[in-house]
Structure 1
């Protein structure tokens, strides 16, 4: 067995006798110990020896001396370098009132001097078991994700499986495709999947958001221009149609495509040639065009904002994406995927959600779809101070703004009292009926909230099992 395959332990301890006793014990457990006298030396040894040598660290035991700003920075750097390794801190009696700071820096546990050696043995066994369980969970999550991922698109709901089947069927064709779906539903990801499954996969995939570029610049961006064709055109420029030649051009937000350019786009689709601004010559191109929009193009046609002949050229194969609220089965998969992604990016040892947090993610309406979920998880990872995402880490603007609540009323015109009743019920549900959290969001004291519950006849509403918990 090579050294790289043996578990290693880094021990940062200034007392040689204590360090030696650790080394003797762990050696009997088939671990190799690496010793450093202080944090600075330990960090240097880790960077220059252990990490470059690809040694797998099963545990880090670290003596905490002062918890001053310098030491806290060093602890943060250690945790960033070893996000998945359990840390055990050894703290002097004088620092026992500050041990919460130790846990805030991602330590698995701590011991306060003086301690029995059996305590470190007990913690060691728990830490190793914790690491092994986390590895198994990570492997299982990857297996589950791989079974429910298609070309980087995550989903196991029936609506997404239908989308996947359609993509597999139409990707090898040369037909133009129109992807329709609400904002944030992953239209560009689907476009890339179509490209990657086509014969053009080794050629360019060029994307442009038609709503993000001013109308007076969009023509030059797409078709290119020649030197001197307009003020500021100091050199020839190839357009995106030519940049994508042989591959795929993705026109996002095609519903915002300027009406006066739609005829030129139609000509490209019909004749497969482009002419740069100011040029007299047409150049042949070989591209596939995939478009996407969150707008109803047929409504735009009725309002004479979109050409019907262009629509039929673009929408040879329509692909309709569901909103996240229509595929709630996928929310846990997506949430865990984003959690893993942002935990790695932010060097945090967070691997799961609490049950109330996951329930909230599952029941929230997600008007911003997958993009909103991704942003919510990223924010939660950054704010989280423990090893799992709690409900308190998930922040929304007022748990869904008034616009969201009002939009759910559709065409109703409720009284103020009815609206208040609905909103209180909404907040109670979203906070898992935790009265303290609900009252804080509503701007009420708890007595007033209890009185309103009685007034509305909600005495038998579900009660939180931990209503006194501060979240």
Structure 2
């Protein structure tokens, strides 16, 4: 919990009450302090006062929901009015309580809010800790969304670059779902030969084709009562996409060589690193199947977008590699860790794990030195840009986007940027942009 109030005595009282109920509580005496705490503590629920100096409760709610839309917020006040309650509800506040706070009502609202948001699941939380290691705010919000949508039987499409952990996220969804007691079956649609994929998914009868000497259950039947994870769904052949769509719509399948339909109860999760909307335009992926699979979309950030997780992950993989190799390796040298944090990581978490395993295998000392990491990365130049470089890159891309939107019309672009024309021309010159290059018929 994150408790926000400018009354120290109330903060202390609330904190003690919640800790006595088994919750962990962080406290903040102002809205600004709360925002800083929110970004580091990643709370599951926020309880905030309405009337505070500098930043009131409604302003705080708006800023928190910009960062994490699914975090439930309970608002408390000594000056409760109907307009205040209406305004709070419109901003997505879960409940509105007046002081003095009824402890029973507060605990009831807390548990209900956590239940609705999918955050009150100790069992799935424990499973998550063994699979998803993060202190990144976007990842925490993604995991909260995954647990929340896991409660309903909707198809989920997981998007992300190769090596970001799409299957691990699918397991988090499965472990938080009503079918967690059932099997979790995963198949990589791009790794199975096209002529075998249909049999692999839907099964076949004996004699259905040359070499089919036995009846075989498909993965849909194997996953009955549980979850089927279709990885790299973007690589599935068009002919099979038609059959998959029918299975998802009818909840029945017909194995190869069979004349009867078999009912199935399976939660289907899919994943891809491809741009499926572009594949639809190029007629490589069916639009109707896309909308059937993409009821909810979860996007995993790349490792470069969550660099604060790199030391955590590197040390986790280090301990695991040491256990397997039985070598006396304890840590990365500081400059070696700096290079890990600064590297580009095109292969994401999978590449990081590979680099760590390689350095553990090759090191002859308890501390992994910089040259070993450089060798494993095959790239000695840090890829993390400086603040000035990042700001200049953003500024140039932003200006170019404005000119594209306005077809090179400087007056319109300046108006969109809320800058005068003279200042806008200076910005274009500074970034070597010629507005006439963006003009088109």
1:209 matched residue in structure 2:
188
**Which residue of structure 1 aligns with residue 240 of structure 2?**
261
Contact kept? 2:156, 2:268, Cα under 8 Å: yes
Gaps of 5+ in 2: 1-124, 385-441
Shift of 1:399: 2.5
- Residue among 273, 278, 299 paired with 1:299: 278
Map 1:226-305 onto structure 2 (within 5 A). Answer: 226-305=205-284
> 1:385 Cα shift?
1.0
Deviations 1:125-164 (A, max 9, x none): xxxxxxxxxxxxxxxxxxxxx9996452011111211111
* Alignment correspondent of 1:452: none
Q: Is the 8 A contact 1:255 1:293 kept in 2?
A: yes
The SS at the match of 1:236 is coil
2: CA distance between counterparts of 1:399 and 1:337? 22
Distance 1:398 1:328, change over 3 A: closer
How far residue 398 of structure 1 moved from its aligned partner, in angstroms, is 6.8
Contact 1:177–1:291 (Cα < 8 Å) also in 2 = yes
Supply the RMSD in Å over aligned alpha carbons: 2.1
307 and 380 in structure 1: CA distance in 2 versus 1, 3 angstrom threshold: same
Asked whether 1:319 is paired with 2:312, we answer no
Match of 1:199 among 178, 202, 219: 178
> Shift of the alpha carbon at 1:167?
1.1
Aligned position for 1:160: 139
The TM-score normalised by the length of structure 2 is: 0.57
Equivalent pair of 1:180/1:293 in contact (CA under 8 Å) = yes
Q: In structure 2, the residue corresponding to 1:331 is in which secondary structure?
A: helix
User: What do residues 61-83 of structure 1 show as CA deviations (whole Å, max 9, x unaligned)?
Assistant: xxxxxxxxxxxxxxxxxxxxxxx
Query: Quick one: distance in 1 between partners of 2:224 and 2:305?
Result: 37
Report the count of equivalent residues: 259
Whole-Å Cα distance in 1 between the matches of residues 147 and 267 of structure 2?
Answer: 16
CA contact (8 A) 2:359 2:376 kept: no
Runs of 4+ aligned structure 1 residues displaced above 2 Å come to 146-151, 395-402
Indicate conservation of the 8 Å contact 2:171/2:184, yes or no: yes
Please give the per-residue CA displacement for 1:8-59, whole angstroms capped at 9, x wherever unaligned: xxxxxxxxxxxxxxxxxxxxxxxxxxxxxxxxxxxxxxxxxxxxxxxxxxxx
- Cα distance in 2 between the residues matched to 1:284 and 1:148: 31
Distance verdict in 2 for CA 1:210–1:396, change over 3 Å: farther
Alpha carbons 2:160, 2:301 under 8 Å: kept: yes
Distance 2:140 2:250 in 1: 35
Q: Name structure 1 gaps, 5 residues minimum.
A: 1-145, 406-471
Instruction: Decide whether the 8 Å contact of 2:225 with 2:265 is kept in 1.
Output: yes
Q: Which residue of 1 aligns with 2:438?
A: none
Residue 393 of structure 1 corresponds to 372
Q: How many angstroms apart in 1 are the aligned matches of 2:128 and 2:372?
A: 27
One of 177, 194, 198 as aligned partner of 1:219: 198
* Range with bigger deviation, 345-354 or 294-303: 345-354
1:318-358, Cα deviation, whole Å (9 max, x unpaired): 00001000100100000000001001110012121111100
Question: What SS is found at the alignment partner of 1:237?
Answer: coil
Shift of the alpha carbon at 1:168?
1.6
